[in-house]
Amino acid sequence: MMIAILFSATQWAVAQDQKKTKDVKEPKKAAVGNVVTAKAVHQPIPVPLKNGDFESPMSKGNKWAGWSLPEGGDFKVITDAHGGKQAIHIGVPYPYLIQEIDTSSLKGKFFEVSFYAKGTGTLGCWSHDKTGWTLQGYGELQLYPEGYVKYVLRDKNPISADKMELFFGKTYDCCLDDVSVAVWDKLPEPGPHETGNYDVNKNVPLPPQYFTGNGEIPEGMVNIAPYASIRTTPFVPGANRIVDGYMGSAATTWCHMVEFSFDKPQTVSSVRIGLPAKEIFIFADKDGNGKYIPLAIDTESWSFGYWGRPSWPWYHKEFSPPVKVRSIRFYNVGHEVQILSAKSDAAALVEANKEKMPDIPEMASGAAVATPEAARDDQILVGFTIEPWMFNSQSEIDKDDNPKRPLKDWDGWKKLIADYKDMKANFILLFPPQTCIEPPKDAPRKGTYPSAVLWPSKAWYRSCQKNILAEICASAHENGIKVFPVFRDYALNEGATVSELNKEMFDSGVDAIPMSHDEQMFSIGGIGQKQEVKPGMSPAEKNRVEDNNRRLADEVAKFDKLNQLITEEAKKLPEPERSIKMFNSVLNYPTKQSDDSFRRLVLLRYDAFGDAIAKNAAATRAVKPDVPTFSAFTCTEELKSSRIEHFSENDVVGFKAGIDMVGGTSGYFTINDKLGWPKASYYTQVYRACTPKRQSMHTMNLAWGYGFFGDPKKNPLCEDVYPPVAYIGNTLAAVFNKAVALDFWRYKPMEEVPLGKESISEAFHMTDTASAWGAKNASIPKDVLFLRSRASEDWWGLRVDNDKNEKDKSIADKGVDQAQWLGNLLIRNAFPFELYWQDQPQAYEPVIDKFKVIVLSLPYSVSDAELKVLEKAASANIPIIAVGARGETDGFGDKRTVPALDALIKAGKIQVFDKDIQHDGNFRSTENEFVSLLDKNIGHEKRSLMLKRYGDKDVQAAMLEIKPDEKLVLLVNWSMSEATVDLGMNLPAGKDYKLLYRDRKGTSEMSIGGKTSLKEADLRQFRVKMKNGDVGILRIFR
């Protein structure tokens, strides 16, 4: 965390030219990073900088009067300048704009750079000397398109080198002007400040534009923001979380702009932002003509964080008189937005949005009944990531890697077993199966985790002399617990193989074998250039350098062997010599190209990694044919169009190696991340699609803000972003989307998070009830087949990234954004669905005719094999909906003469939904239109499950089918307030049904409209009222 390292200031420029983008009058004072005011005791001393105003004529080549313009960059002279006649525009993130500065006479002073910039997205600015990167700007400086902003960055460390280099980059669209540098003899002393952490000065009063609380609406006012059409840049699904009235569910932290638009002009009295960003920029379009004017500018705002705060801070701006607006844009935003109007001014808008609630029977609770317990074979696996230090390995094993006493006598292990029994946990993800003891300083060491493995090993470079792993497995099995081991990295003896290591673990009693180390896809990224071991380095520093060089050598070797892995089919294609040379020269990430040789090389890299894992799997199964296999990858979902830079995608590996279970992280931080509460459901589906056996693992998380930083009382707001429903709802949502193994990272510091421990215990007990009712072997009703195309996402993103005329590079993420939008919509509206990768037609061809409708999230690339399967579905009259593409390229990304889906579209077999999802996806009208399209194609009366949410409350409903006349329905109230929904389901007629409901307290019989014996018609539509934080499992059976 970089707190008090970066000092940044923003000011709007003074000049205003009607022919240029409007600038706003510069305020008298400017916020400096976390600083609210600064005592101007000292003054900066200017340092000469060549061509800082960019007024010199642009020269040919890669130099421009002091600036280096590396080959491959996109640097253009523009006349839209802040000062003078011209500025520079930077159009690609890399390479960087660079100038070297002589600092030989400035040692001991403090470096400062200031500049004016505008654009979309973010900009990186930093400097470098012999000690490394000094200014920590990186890509975090927010740009604003409406006007030039002044930025000031200062380094807290004194200059120590003779020369420094100043860098600008990591942007797709930045106008840069009037760069200047200076030094300080002594940095100005900060005034009262907020760091957002424990050293916050609670005694400093907030300025008048702030207040604290939960955003309670003032008397006589109404928040009209929920009635607006909301657009975010970049696109974030579920933007209703920005206005749901709950601070913990924010989506805006992932956006740099949020726009609220109304059908008619609205009278606005004030605006509020919960947990505001450190600069406030609000613009309004008053007439709907697309021209935005400043509504509120505040560069004196504070830098807030919620860790360590007793209550939520809010920024508010009142307008006197009130202003009429059609649209409002907030830049940088915060956690929650309110747009307040007087009730009299908003009366027509409120009336137009009133929902009518029909008079239908309500579900009610009856007599309590005994909660069943699942038999061991019926249990879904739930537990924790366990690192051996958590059961005292570091004190129970000596420095020579010998245990001091048997495992059964270890106090830490005995407590773990007791906790597991109490919580109904039955799964250990042993990460890593090592002692967690740093080897002696004179001992050889390998890898980033150099400790010994927990058994005598011939494969690992260092090991215990007794088989502690066998003791772990024997004790775990005795208590009904299964053990899956996974490494952080491999440190094998010369000539040893991973399959030999796997055999040793299997012989020790583990229940499944890992086919890769944890987060192995990311092992390709993060490797720098070759480093040098220098005199005076500490053992830890030396180990890091050696590890970097070892991994680097491994990657170079992989590239060198790449041609050997080309399949016979690929050998017939154009030889990608130029691209391979490019890969070898860059070593870290490739410069992405759009030509066919690069795209084929991407596929070859996917195949190469898949082949390596497949060899491991084959060698392991040669020893034990039926051994269960798994891979604990990190999901590359968050990388969006940058996925191919991180080497591989899960489905390629899962299918090539035939891995049984594929898993990774989700729900890993808080409920206020990009996908919000649907994340656990969606990621479970993504992982299931990555393996032929469709078995998903799932790693979730404890609230870090508690356990890693002390007493929960110091961090009371962490409960808002990780409330009990997050633990329970995420666990059960994964179960209802067919996860086979779930774990929380990690078992410790659970003791310091009492709320987390209690909530996880509730989650595991409720999972046991679902298991007792048949959830393990149940299926998801086949209403919607969701086909997601990795090739489309990759090749579309490459095309956009290489289109120099396209300024808005966020559209490169169209494929991932549309997939997340579709998943979010299906989950929010309770459509039972199964996700398959479109790229694996052999997986969904056998079942495609069992679904009621097929949705293609972005069929930009469609291979011939995929097209044949879709034609088969079309001939069976299964409705198909294509979102935003028509098969413009084939599976290799080569443009087709005629789009692949064209004939089926013309024949009426495929319907195209052509809305701009990145722009309109969060509009209520867009969601309603697509839901209506699904209803029309499925037939509303044929839907397995139906959900009507009142007040746009976030309530989740999901279904599992035990058999046609026996179902389980999950209900989760994520709204953090009372909620009312109408629920309905489609069941066989002529039978009497009963209901049982398992909530967080126990199990009860249920009635609808006073009846406990129900016909299928009684279950077609009934009302459910839920309290704050309610989670329940409804069993419908005969």
> What is the 3 state secondary structure string of 151-218?
EEEEEEEECCCCEEEEEEECCCCEEEEEEEEEEECCCCEECCECCCCCCCCCCCCCCCCEEECCCCCC
Measure the CA–CA gap between 523 and 489, rounded to whole angstroms. Answer: 9
Q: What is the pLDDT of residue 825?
A: 98
Residue 61 φ then ψ, to 5°: 90, -155
Measure the CA–CA gap between 1022 and 1009, rounded to whole angstroms. Answer: 8
Sign for the CA dihedral angle at 661, 664, 666, 668 comes to positive
Local structure of 473: helix, strand or coil: helix
Q: Six-digit token pair at 81?
A: 């300048």
Measure the CA–CA gap between 785 and 774, rounded to whole angstroms. Answer: 23
Positions in the chain whose pLDDT score sits under 70? 1-42, 60-62, 130-140, 189-205, 253, 299-303, 447-448, 519-531, 536-544, 547-598, 600-601, 604-605, 608, 633-649, 665-670, 704-712
Fill in the DSSP letter of residue 451.
P
H helices, E strands: number in the chain: 22, 46
Amino acid at 258: V
- Residues 551 and 663: beta-carbon distance below 8 Å: no
Residue 373 φ then ψ, to 5°: -115, 140
Measure the CA–CA gap between 903 and 905, rounded to whole angstroms. Answer: 5
Fill in the DSSP letter of residue 623.
H
Q: Which DSSP helix (H) or strand (E) runs through 1008?
A: strand 1003-1008
Q: How far is CA 982 from the centre of its chain?
A: 31
DSSP string of 312-337, one letter each residue: -EEEEEEEEEEEEEEEEEEES--SEE
Q: Identify the CA nearest to 124 among candidates 6, 44, 22, 235.
A: 6
Burial zone of 1013 (CB within 10 Å; 0-12 exposed, 13-18 middle, 19+ buried): exposed
Q: Six-digit token pair at 997?
A: 């409901």
342-to-209, 228, 314, 319, 559 alpha-carbon distances in Å = 20, 16, 20, 12, 65
Measure the CA–CA gap between 250 and 232, rounded to whole angstroms. Answer: 13
CB atoms within 10 A of CB 538: 9
DSSP string of 853-912, one letter each residue: EEEES--SB--HHHHHHHHHHHHTT--EEEES----B-TTSPBPSS-TTHHHHHTTSEEE
Amino acid at 423: M
Measure the CA–CA gap between 486 and 907, rounded to whole angstroms. Answer: 51
Local structure of 917: helix, strand or coil: helix
Q: What is the pLDDT of residue 160?
A: 87
288: left (phi over 0), alpha (psi -120 to 50) or beta: left
Measure the CA–CA gap between 130 and 5, rounded to whole angstroms. Answer: 19
Measure the CA–CA gap between 133 and 147, rounded to whole angstroms. Answer: 29
Measure the CA–CA gap between 810 and 622, rounded to whole angstroms. Answer: 46
DSSP string of 704-762, one letter each residue: HHHHTSS-GGG-TTHHHHS-HHHHHHHHHHHHHTTEEEEEEE-STTGGG-HHHHHHHHH
Which residues have CB under 8 Å from 71's CB, separation 6+? 62, 95
Q: Report the alpha-carbon angle 548-552-558, nearest 5.
A: 150
Measure the CA–CA gap between 861 and 126, rounded to whole angstroms. Answer: 39
DSSP string of 956-967, one letter each residue: EEEEEEEETTEE
What pTM did the predictor assign?
0.84
Q: Which residue has the tokens 């069943």?
A: 372
Measure the CA–CA gap between 516 and 246, rounded to whole angstroms. Answer: 40
CB atoms within 10 A of CB 571: 9
In this structure, the dihedral spanned by the alpha carbons of residues 13, 314, 206 and 257, taken in order and rounded to 10 degrees, is: -20
Measure the CA–CA gap between 719 and 716, rounded to whole angstroms. Answer: 6
Polymer length in residues for the chain:
1038
Q: What is the pLDDT of residue 87?
A: 96
Domains, in order of start, for the chain: 6-190 (2.60.120.260), 210-352 (2.60.120.260), 373-492 (no CATH), 784-940 (3.40.50), 945-1037 (2.60.40.1180)
- Residues 1013 and 379: beta-carbon distance below 8 Å: no
End-to-end CA distance of the chain: 56
Q: Where in 755-876 does DSSP place strands (E)? A: 784-788, 833-837, 853-856
Measure the CA–CA gap between 556 and 577, rounded to whole angstroms. Answer: 16
Q: How many CA atoms lie within 13 A of 983 on its CB side?
A: 23
Q: What is the pLDDT of residue 320?
A: 94
Burial zone of 485 (CB within 10 Å; 0-12 exposed, 13-18 middle, 19+ buried): buried
- Residues 228 and 261: beta-carbon distance below 8 Å: yes
- Residues 854 and 806: beta-carbon distance below 8 Å: no
Measure the CA–CA gap between 409 and 414, rounded to whole angstroms. Answer: 7
Rg of the chain on CA atoms, in Å = 30
Residue 233 φ then ψ, to 5°: -130, 120
Q: Six-digit token pair at 524?
A: 């390709």
Q: Six-digit token pair at 552?
A: 């680097």
Q: Identify the CA nearest to 148 among candidates 179, 191, 111, 109.
A: 179
